[in-house]
Amino acid sequence: MEHEITLVVNGATRRVNVPARRLLSDCLRHDLGLTGTHVGCEHGVCGCCTVLLDGRPVRSCLTFAVTVDGQEITTVEGLAREGAPPRGLRSAGSAATGATGEGGGTERPSRPHDVEEVKPALSPVQRAFAECHGLQCGFCTPGFLCTVTAFLRDNPAPSDDEIVEGISGNLCRCTGYQNIVKAVHRAAELLAEET
Amino acid sequence: MTTRLFGEPVQRREDPRLLTGQGRYLDDLGRDALAAAFVRSPHAHARIRDIDVAPALDVPGLVAIYTWEDLPERVGRALPLLIPHPALTHGRTAYPLARDVVRHVGEPVVMVVASDRYAAEDACALIEVDYEPLKPVVGLEEAVQGAALVHEDVPGNVGAHLVQEVAAADGRGAGEVIEAAPHTLSFRLDIERSASMPLEGRGVYARWDGRDLRVYSSTQTSTSVRMAVAATLGLPLPHVEVIAPDVGGGFGVKIVHPWPEEILVPWAAMTLGREVKWAEDRREHFISSAHERAQIQHVRVGFDDDGRVLGLDVTIRHDHGAYTPYGIIVPIVTSTQLLGPYKIGAYRVAFTSVYTNTVQVTPYRGAGRPQAVFCMERTMDKIARHLGKDRTEVRAVNFIGPEEFPYDQHMTFQDGRPLIYDSGNYPEMLRMIKELIGWDEHERRPGRGIGIGCYVEGTGVGPYEGGHVQVTSDGRVHVSTGLTSQGQGHETVFAQIAATELGVPIERVSVVTGDTRRFGYAVGTFASRAAVMSGNAIALACRKVREKALRIAADALEADPADLAIDDGMVHVAGAPSASIPLSTVAVLANPLRYAFDDEAAKATQFSATASPDRPPVAEGEEPGLEGRDYYSPVRSTFASGMHAAIVETDPDTAEIKVVRYAVVHDCGRLINPMIVEGQIHGGVAQGIGGALYERMVYDSHGQLVNASFMDFLMPYATEIPHVETAHLETPSPLNPLGIKGAGEAGVIPVSAVIASAVEDAEGIDVDRMPISPSELFELRELRELRAAME
């Protein structure tokens, strides 16, 4: 049996029919086409699937979609519009914007990097990760970005130890975390400059 | 000069898409594809009596169920043994789906295809497989006893046995030299299993249109997957394309191919006439991909009063799991890289590579080197302790001198070529690492120890890679190479090389990797080879393009090509910037046209082109277009090197081990992008710390992997990884045009050796087994006290 639910995803209202057992991660990725949220373990340990639910970071792989009916979700695709004008993603043709309706979302062409990259606008956290080489393969990155976005909102000027603690629920197999810690400091600076 | 980008910490060109959720990883593709799932063996060793699929047939959304018996002959054959070796006398590979016998927990038995993954797993759960359990062989000790057999036709479970010997200068063998040496030591070392464990598992997605097959795979080698798929499915090569999309980490496991799923998913897509996709879940990755590292080493060493090694004899038992698709590369690498930066008088190394009823063993970042370095560096520390000398002093007396390159170790390396080091400066590197960590100032006290580890890493193995570079009439530069990317920043470093070689802004350069539609000839990304191999191939291809551009521009500018330079995308007469022509126009002129599709193109049509009417539009020996292709095929590997040092603190009560400082000096020849090289080192060290202190594959006596999840397999979080201090030494490789070596694996290689050295120093007890957990350190302390009490 399917259930009709309404999710406000990255500012857009989306209605979708899901079976009760549909994971939020699968709903976002496969029903709504928001594939930026990644699934690394499906048992809530790696943190790749972290999204913001009403502003709080949650594991979307441990959340049934039906349990968040009516709530607001921010995924990596929507981070650039968090507290900033939503100029970038809309013009970058993101799957996140605009579309409302069941199983909406834009099908992406299956042409991995054979066209000139569109440069989307980036949030301060995203910019800091790029500046500090805080990502390599990029698979865990969306989870880190969501975690760090919420972390810096609660603690705008964290110490090293607080940062390590703040990201200690996310696994990265590539970077050794050093540049991620650096990126969080840098993001705090960028956010402070903007306010 | 704006375009001199080689050596600069240029920001990554991959990042904007990966930071905004616009990356395209395997499971992001094929939204409408059918989903495949697998019934996998719950037994480590069993005979399949019967498979009953009937209970699954009513599952809504079910499309198809396949067992081995359903596969056509060529699809059902045993998977290829990728790297045969004369010493691998009993190589065995799995069938894509188990045929009669399963040999490890996780081996695929049945493939289900359904409307989505939920439905496919529903059906998997209902399929009943009747097994007759057989005696499993678990662990090296049990395997070498040979009482039970993994493969009935492999006596003693021995897949391979290889002895390599290098005699001393006077012709004596290692055994004889060690007997006669002033000092001798013998000991045993153990290293446990770990695994690559990329955060994105493997995955395959296939589309068949009745004539052409397109396969996406999360692989480290798309060209070789393509050849394997075409051969297995009986398709002409030009009708098969394989693309590695964004890949969420590899670290070795994804170089193995074709995986069963890389054959079965495309075959199912062809058979069903539908798109089919399979994305591995985490448990599948633990129990059905690949592991590495496990070895037992018996060491005998003879040395003089200065600590100079006169003879070394190492006997290795290597656990390669249930199958050997990747041959015996790992123990070969261990055997040959064990020598490190040292001149060892006489050397004998023998390995026996054995079967166990566990997941197969194939290269994981470092590929046998961490074990090799653990062995040699433990040996150096033991010699130092035996003689009461400083550990760095013993290493220094054994170093190959900077004036001794090229240095021939008189062995055969993993590429089948002589093990000849190209360049390096080990004494200088030792000086640098001692200074960086403060070796001489280190204050010794119980519970605080300092350790060191040195290594040499053969990088950039052949046979070749290629590059294609095309300048289009809009002035953009399109670079492609066949090898794949899993986070190394190839799109950035290769763009830096192309921008530097061609004199164009990097913004105009785009790079494609791992797409056989763009470049069909390649080997793959492993062995720290991508920058060396494809970097040089792309540089050579750029030089061809540059030469052609200068030839055409010289014609147009009525100048001598030798007087021309390219800067910021403009070809100009050196010293006379006004006499210039944009590279975009050169690209237009390089391709004589009949039809004008835009204003630029109009310049190259028949009534406007400036070329002489008496010559053919495309001159003899020329080709239309401003593009070039070239290959780099080295005579042998380059040899990067490094030295790491660490300070650890051990808790007197809990025996917790904390790494308080970690320093790395690294030589990978010329650096293309220091920011990216450092990132590679940081990540490698983190994996090394995981291997030294936390990660292990725990099999019970039944062959069940009892920690097959991220809950129980302890991959380090940020809380476990120290800050890594780095310094670089650059000794360019004389073997390639760019003078580069490789950097991908470096960080991980010596870490277990370094941590063991530091813990030993802190505790004053022998550390001969890695990883070491707090409870194991606690037991070692108890043992020491027990021994002290008995004396």
- The upper half-sphere exposure of residue B740, i.e. CA atoms within 13 Å in the direction of its Cβ, equals 27
Q: Do B200 and A89 touch (CB under 8 A)?
A: no
Contact B260, B96 (CB under 8 A): yes
Q: Do A36 and B246 touch (CB under 8 A)?
A: no
Domain final residue, candidates B597, B632, B667: B632
Res. A84: pLDDT tops 60: no
Contact B754, B648 (CB under 8 A): no
Judge if B127 and B207 occupy the same domain.
yes
Indicate the pTM of the whole model. 0.94
Cβ contacts of B715 on chain A, cutoff 8 Å: 171, 173
Within-domain flag for B299: no
Cβ neighbourhood burial of B445 (10 Å; 0-12, 13-18, 19+): exposed
Probe site for chain A from B11, B15, B241 (most A CB atoms < 10 A): B15
Q: Do B18 and A135 touch (CB under 8 A)?
A: yes
- Identify which of A21, A39, A130 has the shortest CB distance to residue B19: A130
Judge if B211 and B283 occupy the same domain.
yes
Judge if B127 and B269 occupy the same domain.
yes
- Residues A28-82 have pLDDT tens digits of 999 999 999 999 999 999 999 999 999 999 999 999 999 999 999 999 999 997 6
Mean pLDDT, residues A6-27: 97
Judge if B737 and B714 occupy the same domain.
yes
Res. A112: pLDDT tops 50: no
Sequence ranges of chain A with CATH classification 3.10.20.30: 2-91
Res. B191: pLDDT tops 80: yes
Cβ contacts of B13 on chain A, cutoff 8 Å: 117
Domain final residue, candidates B239, B263, B288: B288
- Identify which of A114, A126, A174 has the shortest CB distance to residue B512: A114
Judge if B427 and B499 occupy the same domain.
no
**Taking all residues of chain B, what is their mean pLDDT, rounded to a whole number?**
95
- Identify which of A33, A40, A130 has the shortest CB distance to residue B15: A130
Judge if B488 and B537 occupy the same domain.
yes
Mean pLDDT, residues A155-178: 98
Tell me the C-alpha distance between A33 and A35, whole Å: 6
Looking at residue B88, which CATH number applies to its domain? 3.90.1170.50
pLDDT value of position A119 = 57
pLDDT value of position B611 = 65
Size of interface A-B (CB pairs under 8 A): 210
- Please state the φ and ψ torsions of residue B456, each to the nearest 5 degrees: -125, 135
> For residue B44, what pLDDT band results from cuts at 50, 70 and 90?
very high
Res. B56: pLDDT tops 90: yes
Judge if B494 and B558 occupy the same domain.
yes
Q: Do B31 and A107 touch (CB under 8 A)?
A: yes
Q: Is the ipTM of this complex over 0.85?
A: yes
Looking at residue B614, which CATH number applies to its domain? 3.30.365.10
Closest residue in B to A130 (Cα–Cα): B15
The percent of residues above 70 in pLDDT, for chain B, comes to 99
Tell me the C-alpha distance between B608 and B70, whole Å: 64
pLDDT value of position B601 = 80
Domain final residue, candidates B632, B655, B673: B632
Q: Do A40 and B200 touch (CB under 8 A)?
A: yes
Indicate the CATH number of A124-194 among 3.55.50.30, 3.40.50.720, 1.10.150.120, 3.40.718.10.
1.10.150.120
Mean pLDDT, residues B63-82: 97
pLDDT value of position A108 = 43
Name B62's Cβ contacts closer than 8 Å, sequence gap at least 6.
B56, B112, B114, B115, B119, B120, B123
Cβ contacts of A167 on chain B, cutoff 8 Å: 717-718
Q: Do B24 and A164 touch (CB under 8 A)?
A: no
pLDDT value of position B603 = 79
Res. B265: pLDDT tops 90: yes
The percent of residues above 90 in pLDDT, for chain B, comes to 92
| Residue B50 to chain A, least CA–CA distance (Å) | 31
pLDDT value of position B610 = 62
Of the ranges A112-116, B153-157, B477-481, B594-598, which one carries the lowest mean pLDDT score? A112-116
Within-domain flag for B2: no
Tell me the C-alpha distance between B653 and B671, whole Å: 45
The amino acid present at B309, given as its one-letter code, is: V
| Residue B662 to chain A, least CA–CA distance (Å) | 12
Name B347's Cβ contacts closer than 8 Å, sequence gap at least 6.
B164, B165, B166, B174, B311, B312, B313, B339, B411
Res. B437: pLDDT tops 70: yes
Provide the β-strand partners of residue B203: B279
Cβ contacts of A33 on chain B, cutoff 8 Å: 31
Q: Do B199 and A43 touch (CB under 8 A)?
A: no
**Domain coverage including residue B584:** 463-632
Judge if B456 and B468 occupy the same domain.
no
Give SS3 for B680: helix
Q: Do B199 and A178 touch (CB under 8 A)?
A: no
Probe site for chain A from B20, B506, B714 (most A CB atoms < 10 A): B20
Judge if B484 and B587 occupy the same domain.
yes
Mean pLDDT, residues B707-716: 97
The amino acid present at A39, given as its one-letter code, is: V
Handedness of CA B431, B437, B440, B441 (dihedral sign): positive
Cβ contacts of A45 on chain B, cutoff 8 Å: 709-711
Within-domain flag for B300: no
Sequence ranges of chain A with CATH classification 1.10.150.120: 124-194
Tell me the C-alpha distance between B290 and B4, whole Å: 42
Closest residue in B to A34 (Cα–Cα): B21
Judge if B68 and B200 occupy the same domain.
yes
Within-domain flag for B147: no
Q: Do A139 and B243 touch (CB under 8 A)?
A: no
Closest residue in A to B284 (Cα–Cα): A41
Q: What is the largest CA-CA distance in chain B?
A: 102
Closest residue in A to B480 (Cα–Cα): A114
Q: Do B248 and A75 touch (CB under 8 A)?
A: no
Of A113 and B387, the structure prediction assigns the larger pLDDT to: B387
| Residue A127 to chain B, least CA–CA distance (Å) | 8
pLDDT value of position A82 = 61
Closest residue in A to B487 (Cα–Cα): A137
> For residue B283, what pLDDT band results from cuts at 50, 70 and 90?
very high
Q: Do A173 and B251 touch (CB under 8 A)?
A: yes
Tell me the C-alpha distance between B413 and B347, whole Å: 15
> For residue B108, what pLDDT band results from cuts at 50, 70 and 90?
very high
Cβ contacts of B27 on chain A, cutoff 8 Å: 29, 35, 39
Judge if B218 and B81 occupy the same domain.
yes
Res. B330: pLDDT tops 80: yes
- Give the CATH fold of the A2-91 domain: Ubiquitin-like (UB roll) (3.10.20)
Q: Do A89 and B20 touch (CB under 8 A)?
A: yes
Q: Do A136 and B515 touch (CB under 8 A)?
A: no
pLDDT value of position A98 = 35
Within-domain flag for B398: yes
Within-domain flag for B399: yes
Cβ contacts of B19 on chain A, cutoff 8 Å: 76, 122, 126, 129-130, 135, 138, 141, 145
Probe site for chain B from A139, A161, A170, A190 (most B CB atoms < 10 A): A139
Domains identified in chain B, total number = 3
Tell me the C-alpha distance between B688 and B681, whole Å: 10
- Residues B291-313 have pLDDT tens digits of 999 999 999 999 999 999 999 99
